[in-house]
Amino acid sequence: MTLVLDNYIDGRLCAPRAGRYLEVFEPASGAAYSQCPDSDRSDVAAAFAAAERAFPAWSALPATERAMHLNRIADRVEARLDEFAAAESRDTGKPVALARSLDIPRAIANLRFFAAAITQFASEAHAMGADALNYTLRQPLGVVGCISPWNLPLYLFTWKIAPALAAGNTVIAKPSEITPLTATLFAQACIDAGLPAGVLNIVHGSGPCAGQALVEHAGIKAISFTGSTRTGAAIAAVAAPKFRKLSLEMGGKNPTIVFADWEASDGNWNTLVRSAFANQGQICLCGSRLLVARSIYSAFKDEFVARVRALRVGDPLDPQSDLGAVVSRAHFDKILGHIALAREEGGTILTGGNAVTPSGRCANGWFIEPTVIDGLAAACRTNQEEIFGPVATLIPFDGDDEAVAIANATEYGLAASVWTASLKRAHRVAARLEAGIVWINCWMRRDLRTPFGGVKNSGVGREGGFDALRFFTETKNVCVDLGS
């Protein structure tokens, strides 16, 4: 029986107004298993009307009461963690163990963090001697749009809506139509938690239809988007003439720089492999280019390849699977096309490079071996274009300057990691890297208080911590003449 999903508008689950639906496929089996609304402008208009009605009362609530609502929703998600994890795994193809340990706990953490952060979000005051006093108001914008991607669906969905709601805005959210299930479960959690009608509205559908309608709507005050650089550029083109606030977190071609003096411990090796292949390489922060000091290159290559070969690709429900399926047939074909391109560009496939056909229910799923490629020029397409799959390249370098030059020689600038025993070198190199975040001797250690975002074609703006709350508010200075 096909599962039929609903939009969430004005506090209730409802069918799309035009009655159209999109098929949703399970990556592990390749089979369609559900339908989500193929929403259009009429659905976005209904969501906006509900959000606009809800805004005055929601924005007037004390921050502590808005925080209580977010915490109640977090409680409902936490109580159904295994159900959410299973749904996330089914939609994305990722191992259910990863969804259970990463995606859903971090979604819960987003809700709880911003529930707490809004109660600590302070304004500034500046005395002008004894004559006048300036103080700052940070006021919610109104109705905002949040567009989240398919790779970490609930995690990044809550990353956007939690600060927006905490700051007093009402929200229209558009999850990816490829992975809509946990957003629908989240809507039910909001209903169960008693979130007032219209405060959060979830409109499913494609980017060109529902997403475009949301971005173009005249009443939307800000857009927070995570996704491809091409889509981000299209959103910016629409938003710029409207002078609308934008936060765009887009693609990455992230370097992992390994110096000769790095600590080659078992834990660090595991982190390097994970940084390249976690979630089948479908994390914008994955280190897809490994830059390795030439003096250790040969030995590093042998050990890295051996560890990658040991990764197990299989059914996401199998606890022994390290990697599951990639998210869609189209993405599967794209990744294999990039691997073929690497061969054409003179690359040597050290391991992987092929589709995998697990037995049983996964025989028709979209599985690809973790792939390591050597012998490519730093400037070739394989090392310049975002593949967003289980593919990593190895590049030797000589000295700090060459490492930094290769690392920065892409149109992207989202993240980087630096591995060295010298903290002086680490600080020096980190300062020169063109990236929004640099990890030193670690990867994916996230503190929700810190700013997050990219430079160059990886994005505009910062989210996380008070930066997110600043984005979702308007700053107003009030100057009071104190008289004589």
3-state secondary structure of 358: coil
Structure tokens at 454: 């990219």
Regarding beta strands 367-368 and 355-356, do their DSSP bridges make them parallel or antiparallel, or are they unpaired? antiparallel
The owner of tokens 């689950």 is 13
Amino acid (one-letter) located at 42:
S
Q: Of the candidates 136, 135, 131, which has an alpha carbon nearest to the alpha carbon of residue 481?
A: 131
* φ/ψ of residue 204, rounded to 5: -85, 160
Q: Of the candidates 69, 73, 92, 117, which has an alpha carbon nearest to the alpha carbon of residue 447?
A: 117
Q: Say how far apart CA 56 and CA 65 lie, in whole Å.
A: 14
Q: Would you say 274 and 307 are in contact if contact means Cβ atoms under 8 Å apart?
A: no
Q: Please spell the DSSP secondary structure of 40-94, one letter per residue.
A: -HHHHHHHHHHHHHHHHHHHHS-HHHHHHHHHHHHHHHHHTHHHHHHHHHHHH--
Q: Of the candidates 375, 378, 362, which has an alpha carbon nearest to the alpha carbon of residue 323?
A: 362
Radius of gyration of the chain (CA): 23
Find all residues with CB under 8 Å of 447, minimum gap 6, and list them: none
Question: What DSSP designation does 196 have?
Answer: P
Neighbours of 191 (CB within 10 A): 16
Crossing angle of helices 81-92 and 181-193, rounded to 10°: 160
For 206-354, strand residue ranges (E) read 222-226, 245-249, 255-258, 289-293, 348-351
Dihedral angle of Cα 462, 468, 471, 475, to the nearest 10 degrees: -130
Q: Which residues form the catalytic set? A: 249, 284
Q: What angle do CA 246, 432, 234 make, to 5 degrees?
A: 25
